[in-house]
């Protein structure tokens, strides 16, 4: 079972590399190295280091100020990064040696209400409002196929309105604006951003999938969830 999951993840990683130019941007304007700001929360000197992580508005003000000063359209980062912010909810993320702290997706920090676009043709696999503190809030998972390989993309921290009218199996075409970035009162009380993640296998999940793993399980989950094609 483990070997099969690792093989699926490695296969998806190769497909992402092969078809990278075929993936559309999930926000507008399309993100490039030139118009994005790298933000790694594990860096002790990052722009949010002096801001209380539970102060979502204060975090966004710091990011927005930096984006304006640098003339960037978004801040991007987080894949495979070890973070401490999840300690706000030990019940959800664990603690001590079993703490889930390795980030499995890419975060895109943009203003609340920013439209989210499908990067490829797909269908709605599942969706849910994961409403507990520190969770995804409204979440949509799309199912895709390339070379007969089925895989999934997850979009977390959306507006509740994004879930309206959605149904399993719904066709979502590449470039369709199917969701929007949510605000703290609905996104798990995080600073406004999109959590974007690829999965080679859903592991039986519906409307949810781990967005962080323990360090012990990081190799498995990072293989199963290769870095998304973003910039």
Q: What is the largest CA-CA distance in the chain?
A: 49
By the 8 A CB rule, do 211 and 197 touch?
yes
Report pLDDT for 96: 59
Report pLDDT for 95: 54
The model's pTM? 0.94
Domain residue ranges in the chain: 2-224
Q: What is the tally of helices (H) and strands (E) in the chain?
A: 4, 12
At 193-218, the pLDDT tens digits run: 999 999 999 999 999 999 999 999 99
**86 Cβ contact list (under 8 Å, min separation 6):** 92, 93, 99, 100, 101, 134, 212
Report pLDDT for 98: 74
- pLDDT tens digits in sequence order for the chain, 231 residues long: 888 999 999 999 999 999 999 999 999 999 999 999 999 998 989 999 899 888 999 999 999 999 999 999 999 999 999 987 545 445 444 455 677 689 999 999 999 999 999 999 999 999 999 998 889 999 999 999 999 999 999 999 999 999 999 999 999 999 999 999 999 999 988 999 999 999 999 999 999 999 999 999 999 999 999 999 887
CA atoms within 13 A on the CB side of 53: 14
At 73-92, the pLDDT tens digits run: 999 999 999 987 545 445 44
Domain 2-224 = CATH 1.10.1060.10: no
Q: How far apart are CA 56 and CA 48, in angstroms?
A: 11
Q: 37 forms bridges with which residues in the sheet?
A: 75
3-state DSSP assignment of residue 180? strand
3-state DSSP assignment of residue 215? coil
């Amino acid at each position: 079972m483990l070997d099969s999951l690792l093989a699926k993840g490695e296969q998806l990683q190769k497909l992402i590399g092969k078809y990278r130019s075929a993936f559309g941007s999930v926000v507008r304007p399309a993100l490039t190295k030139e118009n994005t700001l790298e933000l790694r929360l594990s860096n002790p000197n990052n722009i949010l280091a002096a801001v209380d992580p539970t102060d979502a508005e204060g975090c966004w003000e710091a990011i927005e100020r930096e984006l304006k000063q640098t003339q960037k359209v978004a801040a991007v980062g987080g894949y495979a990064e070890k973070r401490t912010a999840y300690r706000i909810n030990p019940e959800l993320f664990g603690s001590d040696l079993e703490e889930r702290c390795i980030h499995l997706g890419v975060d895109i920090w943009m203003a609340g209400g920013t439209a989210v676009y499908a990067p490829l043709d797909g269908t709605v696999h599942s969706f849910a409002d994961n409403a507990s503190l520190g969770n995804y809030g409204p979440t949509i998972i799309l199912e895709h196929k390339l070379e007969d390989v089925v895989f999934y993309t997850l979009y977390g921290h959306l507006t509740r309105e994004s879930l309206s009218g959605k149904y399993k199996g719904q066709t979502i075409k590449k470039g369709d604006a199917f969701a929007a970035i949510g605000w703290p009162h609905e996104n798990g009380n995080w600073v406004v951003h999109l959590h974007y993640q690829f999965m080679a296998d859903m592991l039986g999940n519906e409307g949810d999938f781990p967005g962080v793993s323990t360090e012990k399980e990081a190799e498995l989950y990072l293989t199963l969830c290769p870095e998304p094609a973003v910039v």
